Structure 1
Amino acid sequence: MTIVPAHQRSAALAPFVVTLSAYELGPGSVGVHRGLPSSTVSITIPEADSLEIAWLGRPGSGRFRAVVAGLHLDTAELRQEGGTRGVWLKLSPQGAGALLGVPASALSGQVADLADVAPAMAHLPEQLAACRSWPQRRALVEGALIAGRTRHWESTGGQELRGILAALSGTARVQEAARLLGCSRRRLSGTVRAELGVTPKEYQRLLRFEAARGALVAAARAGTVSLAAVAAASGFADQAHFTREWRAMAACTPTEWLRAEGLIA
């Protein structure tokens, strides 16, 4: 077995892995987490028991040993019993194809078991459970991702998608993004739908929501939460617009979310 140095692993995964971290949902035996709308593909691997996931506002729920969630504009509730720790990853949209072998569009708006999406990673939960430290767990996950990159990544296509996403994130208007890319709005929309499973406008909506979430957290930690200031900084017309959008996507108000996360009293 070839051992890849940590700095080389990180460099190889940098374009595709946004976050790779340990998580803990609380000190008890049952943990609950609200999974907010996301512009990335996430993988959640509990350390012990499985996860139960239900979309808020949708009927039904599912149980997964390890779960992959695509880009989604709705909120889900994750419930973990028998232990509340695990490993959490966020992949860029192009990372889904490069590391898992499926386009982000195949996962859009849904959750699936990691074993079904990437059969080569089916034993990753059990392998992680046998690790005794976070460095071991991180190295194991990075190794699995690099193996996936070796199997799936093709140099063509990835750079084009990165350019498209950069253009969409750099302007609030889809037509302007198309102009910057030198293509028609129709062609841009077709490419984004095929790659991500959402429209360009929906992708920008997710980016704006995530910007607001980051601004909310930063303001709460600084002790100066101003919804009007967050709305203005995140590209909303005003505070009322921001609150309506947050409620529609997160199934609660910004203040309710901050309180539930323990960020404000």
Structure 2
Amino acid sequence: MELRNLRGLTGVGIVPYDVTGSAPGEHLGLPGTSATLVVDLADGLVLSSGDSPVTTTFRCCIAGIHLRPVTIHHNGVQRGVQLDLSPEAVRALLGMPAGELAGQMVELSQIDTAFARRLHERLAQTPAGERGAVCAAMLAETVSEDTPRSDALSVWEVIARRRGDVTVSELVESSGWSARHLTAMFNAEFGIGPKQAARLTRFETARARLESGRRAVDVAASCGYADQAHMSREFTELTGYSPRALLKRRAEEFA
């Protein structure tokens, strides 16, 4: 992932992709703390949620923070650009809190028709090797410089710095807010509560450490899980896979 700083805005990951000739298959879209914007330049982005057999096809899909996996179905041709957007980036680019998108997958055109059309048309006309840079330039032109900063963002940043290894009680104490006010602010801005945000952040941290080759028992301890079994239960609840099975599936998907 290529992380970008766009006119002072951090938390934007840009991943161009262009795959042809592979066998049809599925990818697992994992829960996480970012919203995801995918500009599909092939035959449409085909998604299903959970165990549902129902699929929906998108051209420019924006998905909010979610707590359950999404399945991406492909016919062997995958071409487009994926953007991972922090909650701050969602506000600056779309003028809305990330909470309004939580748990949803919608066409970007339903939020900003003109921007969705410009983004798709420009990227479709751009050679594959230049799409990342062109996408970054377009986002920089779109970012609002006077977007108000949410009060909840400072607490979100504490969770990120602690890599999810923090309790709601600690967040209440550091913020000076009541637990009720903190939860209300979080749900309004991010669509999830502080406990869920910490849970997702810790999961992302643990997954990255496992993928780097660290031992599961060491990852569980360093991420603040009670033990390895606790970490395994969390992975299964969030993805449907144990840590070992998830790593195996992802390795096969991107082989």
Detail structure 1 runs of 4+ shifted over 6 Å in the superposition: none
1:73 to 67, 70, 81: 67
Correspondence for 1:100 among 90, 94, 113: 94
2:18–2:128 CA contact under 8 A, matched in 1: no
Cα shift at 1:11: 4.3
CA–CA separation in structure 2 for the residues paired with 1:115 and 1:54:
20
- Which letter does structure 2 place at the counterpart of 1:163? S
Cα 1:59–1:196 change in 2 (3 A) is: farther
Instruction: Tell me, yes or no, if the aligned pair for 1:25 and 1:33 is still in contact at 8 Å.
Output: no
1:53-88: CA deviation from partner (whole Å, max 9, x where unpaired): 111234632110121111011001111336213211
Residue of structure 2 equivalent to 1:242: 231
With 255-264 and 187-196 compared, the bigger mean Cα shift is at 255-264
Residue of structure 1 in register with 2:126 after alignment: 131
Counterparts of 1:193-208 in structure 2, within 5 Å, are 193-208=187-202
Query: For this pair of structures, how many residues does the alignment match?
Result: 247
In structure 2, the residue corresponding to 1:68 is in which secondary structure?
strand
Change over 3 Å in CA distance of 1:168–1:65 after alignment to 2: same
Matches within 5 A, 1:49-64: 49-58=43-52, 60-64=54-58
Q: In structure 1, how many angstroms separate the alpha carbons of the residues matched to 2:175 and 2:248?
A: 41
Asked whether 1:164 is paired with 2:170, we answer: no
More helix by share: 1
- Which segment drifts farther, 141-150 or 39-48? 141-150
Unaligned runs of 5+ in 1: 1-8, 220-224
> What is the one-letter code of the residue matched to 1:156?
P
- The normalised TM-score by structure 1 is 0.84
The one-letter code matched in structure 1 to 2:124 is A
Deviation, 1:155, is 4.2
Q: CA, structure 1 residues 178+243, in 2 after alignment: closer, same or farther (shift >3 Å)?
A: same
SS of the equivalent of 1:261 reads: helix
Aligned to 2:7: 12
Equivalent residue letter for 1:142: A
CA contact (8 A) 2:32 2:67 kept: yes
Structure 1 residues 154 and 139: alpha-carbon distance in aligned structure 2, compared to 1, 3 A threshold: same
The reply on whether 1:262 has 2:254 as its aligned counterpart is: no
Deviation at 1:107, TM superposition (A): 0.6
CA contact (8 A) 1:37 1:249 kept: yes
SS across alignment from 2:22? coil
Amino acid in structure 1 at the alignment position of 2:113: P
Q: Please tell me the residue identity of whatever aligns with 2:127.
A: R
CA contact (8 A) 2:92 2:147 kept: no
**Residue-by-residue CA offset, 1:98-119 (whole Å, 9 max, x unaligned):** 1022210111011111222332
Tell me the secondary structure at the aligned position of residue 138 of structure 2. helix
Task: Read off the aligned partner of 1:69 and give its amino acid letter.
Answer: A
Question: Matches of 2:155 and 2:23 in 1, distance apart?
Answer: 43
Residue number in structure 1 paired with 2:83: 89
Q: Distance in 1 between matches of 2:114 and 2:23?
A: 30
Cα distance, 1:27 vs. partner? 4.2
Q: Among the aligned pairs, what percent are the same residue?
A: 32
Give the Cα–Cα distance (whole angstroms) in 2 for the partners of residues 35 and 242 of structure 1: 19
Q: Counterpart of 2:10 in 1: which secondary structure?
A: coil
Identify if the C-alpha distance between structure 1 residues 24 and 56 changes in structure 2 by more than 3 Å, giving closer, same or farther: farther
For residue 142 of structure 2, what is the aligned residue in structure 1? 148
Q: Is the 8 A contact 1:52 1:63 kept in 2?
A: yes
1:180 maps to 2:174? yes
Displacement of 1:35 in angstroms is: 0.4
* 2:16–2:128 contact (8 Å) kept in structure 1: no
Moved more, 248-257 or 121-130: 121-130
